A = this chain, B = another copy of it.
Amino acid sequence: MPAPARTPRSRWVEEGLRALAAGGPDAVRVDSLAKAIGVTRGGFYWHFEDRGALLEEILDAWERTSIDEAIERVEAGGGDAREKLRRLFDLAASSRDLLKVDLAVRDWARRDPAVAKRLRRVDNRRMDYMRSLFALICDDEDEVEVRCLFTFSIFVGSHFMRTDNGPRSRREMLELALDRLTTPNFGAL
């Protein structure tokens, strides 16, 4: 019967995610993954049709863990909408590796329509979830939308910005912004 998997399929995907996070899709090279794992490319082509097939599976893995798991974990904690938003933000900021994959995929999506389609699916689900939370905090529909946009923008944008020391530190700024965003009807014009 089956012999144990020494370097199973998942290992290549795992190492692929690491490479993607570190250097984008162009850094996902069969050669370097093999070197990182400590084997030659021999086994790779037993598992995968070609390099493209690996990239697909990498995206599959990212898509699964980045929506389902995330929302699940936030919901599991319970609490009101404000606490959940807090937790969502902390979660997004915490798991360093997953975040880097996320950013790499975002750039990748700019030039690959198939990747863009996947990202759209993921972002829409995240946005829907956020909308449902903000709707519990404020009544006005436009207000909800604007807060979603701000929140999502800060989450994504802040990692692509390189600004240092204005009057306040980055961390302080995010805190301040978050407080604003989770305060009921602060700006119902």
A residues bordering B, Cβ < 8 Å? 22-24, 26, 100, 103-104, 106-107, 109-111, 116, 119-120, 123-124, 127, 131, 141-142, 145-146, 148-150, 152-164, 166-168, 173-174, 176-177, 180, 183, 186-187, 189
Contacts and interface: CB of A to CB of B under 8 A. Distances in A.
A151 to B, nearest CB: 9
A168 B158 CA distance: 24
A152 to B, nearest CB: 6
Contacts of A106: 160-161
26 contacts: A24-B24, A24-B107, A26-B26, A100-B110, A104-B107, A106-B160, A109-B162, A110-B159, A110-B160, A120-B163, A124-B163, A127-B163, A131-B166, A141-B167, A142-B168, A145-B166, A146-B176, A146-B180, A149-B174, A149-B177, A152-B163, A153-B157, A153-B161, A155-B157, A156-B157, A157-B157
Contacts of A111: 22-24
Contacts of A131: 166
A92 to B, nearest CB: 13
B161 A124 contact: no
Given A166-B131, A173-B145, A107 B116 contact: no
Contacts of A176: 142, 145-146
Dominant secondary structure of chain A at its interface with chain B: helix
Contacts of A109: 162
A127 B162 CA distance: 10
Given A131-B166, A145-B166, A177-B146, A160 B22 contact: no
Centre residue among A100, A116, A167, A183 by max chain B CB count within 10 A: A167
A51 to B, nearest CB: 15
Given A177-B146, A187-B180, A162 B123 contact: yes
Nearest to A174: B149
